[in-house]
Chain A
């Protein structure tokens, strides 16, 4: 109860404070530069010059303090020792390129980067194409989209249950091993099986991200001008040809957007690996390795250096996004 009062009070103080800030500063501005009197036009101009900054101020403070400043402070920390006290130059980075666990994380991240966006986009496209043509399409869409609402941790529980292992001779309670046994195979402890386990973790993320890809691609597919499709059909194109030769090329831009958005998610993947294997058995990824050095290793230098690597991997997409956004604004 007490906790709820705390939360409620914060909402009231936070929201009320914000509102109060906006009200008061705007009122003050109108007082200082009244839109009346002898200098009316000069006053209006000045007020208009100041007001945007009043509107922006809280957002700018939060963004600077919580996103921009950490970027630079992380760079600084990455050239410091474990406690952030002594300057150690590039030695954290030098450690990294020789650390087998880091190299494993890089290798896995590259695997994730190749597999997850590709398969999520593929299944998303497939789901979009299929569900747009059936009567119960909306229901089907909702079902495929549903994992988006499930937390990565919840999804990990769901899938860990699918991968569960019982020794041979016992009844399998994990779906995967039950299927394997039904086809005459021997049950496996999947999550400790190197290489295979990484792919099984990727399945979880693909399962979550496909719905996202489907929703965006389905909207794009519906935006394709009817004439192009009709013309192709009149020319005798088969449904598959229509799809791959006419529709897909027209939504290529959207496919790229979906692909990059999922790529960003993949680069930050953390929860799934932490909860399912905690990076053991060759499944480590950068996001979880960074957390490991932060919490278990208590080494802010190395953890920051790994974070910087993640940032560097994201940067090309960031620049591409900014350029596209600017192009669109013109």
Chain B
């Protein structure tokens, strides 16, 4: 009889586990990249991020000190040092040949190909000795299998912000998205008020047109607008992309705001009219403050959309290094530094940090906007 209201039963467990599985499935990919963005470059490439909390075994090659760093000790020439260069770790094996990089256990003394004697002890200290002076200019190469403690670092972020120019991209993105969010709101709010509360011929037709324009694919507008911008002398500039983003966001803005405003109580507006207020005053003093939730919903949408956009930025902004927005930079990095996951991970996280913050702070409005915005 525990099934009587159809909720509390063994099913509760199944539901909880299924929901947990779904949540894990949806968050793990992001989490993996987040963890990787804090990992050491070499460790990312040699072990999965899920192993990042465990000691890392790696096989690396190391170059001993150059011949001119050798010192004489009782008839022997000696080059000594530590393969970890200060960082901790344990050497389990070493070798002198790339074909068998783990030939010898740590602590053994072996002959190298050049006839020197090499020993690498567990703590990473190595000692290369020779009866005759070392020759050449480069240090002797050998291989070590090491186990290092997991290391986490914020270096990747510093690196991409400065060396990879992501700091500049961040500013560019901000420069694109803020005006492109603010401008359409105002334009749309007036239009939405007219469509919701003013009587004029053709109103129904205009509303239908706005609904229709909601789905016009961006691709269609690219070439004509690019030509238009070039002819008008705007070219590839911020002004152009602001206008483009504003116009592309307008149908949704008008649609959202009109629906919201049309739902406001008629009495307020009519009593204001009776008191002699003009539509302009009604709009500014009554409608605009009351429409705040809808304005916020749209603002979040438009901000996320302009911040995350790639296509419009690629076409309407130039593609030189200091004109790129962050999504454009990410795209370039994926092409040119496809294997450097520490760079990609850190860059991706810088670019999605702001939208995620906005998302978590304003989720309520985002949900509200979605519910109002999907055409019913």
Contact = CB atoms under 8 A, between A and B. Distances in A.
B215 A314 contact: yes
Contacts of A51: 194, 198, 279-280
B375 A239 contact: no
Contacts of A267: 217
Contacts of A180: none
A274 B27 contact: no
A65 B278 contact: no
Contacts of A30: 278
Residue among B220, B246, B308, B348 having the largest count of chain A Cβ atoms under 10 Å: B220
Given A59-B191, A154-B348, A321-B211, A10 B331 contact: no
Nearest to A73: B224
Interface in B351-371: 351-352, 355-356, 358-360, 363, 366-367, 370-371
Given A56-B190, A77-B223, A157-B345, A126 B22 contact: yes
B375 A257 contact: yes
A158 interface: yes
Interface string A251-293: 0010001101100100110110011100000000011001100
B23 interface: yes
A268 B26 contact: no
B49 interface: yes
B251 A329 contact: no
Contact of B198 (A52, A70, A134): A52
A71 B216 contact: yes
A227 to B, nearest CB: 14
Given A216-B374, A242-B6, 11 more contacts: A15-B182, A51-B198, A53-B194, A59-B190, A66-B243, A70-B223, A126-B18, A133-B7, A140-B23, A143-B26, A291-B219
B185 to A, nearest CB: 9
Contacts of B15: 130, 133-134
A70 B243 CA distance: 14
Q: Dominant SS at the B interface?
A: helix
Return the 10 tightest CB-CB contacts between A and B, nearest first: A66-B247, A151-B308, A149-B359, A59-B191, A70-B224, A55-B194, A73-B224, A70-B221, A157-B348, A130-B19
Contact of A4 (B47, B175, B280): B175
Interface in B276-320: 276, 278-280, 283, 304, 307-311, 314-315
Contacts of A147: 26, 30
A113 B12 CA distance: 35
Contacts of A329: 204, 207
A63 interface: yes
- Interface size for chain A: under 10, 10 to 19, 20 to 34, or 35 or more residues? 35 or more
- Interface size for chain B: under 10, 10 to 19, 20 to 34, or 35 or more residues? 35 or more
B131 interface: no
A307 to B, nearest CB: 4
Interface string B324-344: 000100110010000001001
Interface in A61-115: 62-63, 65-71, 73-74, 77, 84
B254 A59 contact: yes
A43 B366 CA distance: 43
B87 interface: no
Interface of B: 5-7, 9, 11-12, 15-16, 18-20, 22-23, 26-30, 32-33, 36, 44-50, 171-172, 174-175, 178-179, 182-183, 186-188, 190-191, 193-195, 198-200, 203-204, 206-225, 227-228, 238-239, 242-244, 246-248, 250-251, 254, 276, 278-280, 283, 304, 307-311, 314-315, 327, 330-331, 334, 341, 344-345, 347-348, 351-352, 355-356, 358-360, 363, 366-367, 370-371, 374-376
B27 A14 contact: no
A144 interface: yes
A317 interface: yes
Nearest to A137: B19
Contacts of B33: 157-158, 161
A176 B198 CA distance: 57
Given A134-B19, A157-B344, A321-B375, A150 B215 contact: no
B60 to A, nearest CB: 14
Contacts of B186: 15, 18-19
Contact of A146 (B30, B47, B174, B242): B30
A78 B38 CA distance: 49
Contacts of A53: 194, 200
A210 to B, nearest CB: 7
A58 B279 CA distance: 17
Contact of A157 (B28, B217, B330): B330
B19 A216 contact: no
B146 to A, nearest CB: 14
A37 interface: no
A63 B251 contact: yes
A207 B220 contact: no
A150 B244 CA distance: 22
Contact of A14 (B28, B36, B179, B278): B179
Contacts of A3: 171-172, 175
Nearest to B24: A143
Given A154-B351, A318-B215, A173 B371 contact: no
A151 B216 contact: no
Given A65-B228, A152-B308, A219-B371, A52 B200 contact: yes
Contact of B217 (A58, A159, A314): A314
Interface in A19-68: 19, 22-23, 26, 30, 35, 48-49, 51-53, 55-56, 58-60, 62-63, 65-68
A35 B238 CA distance: 43
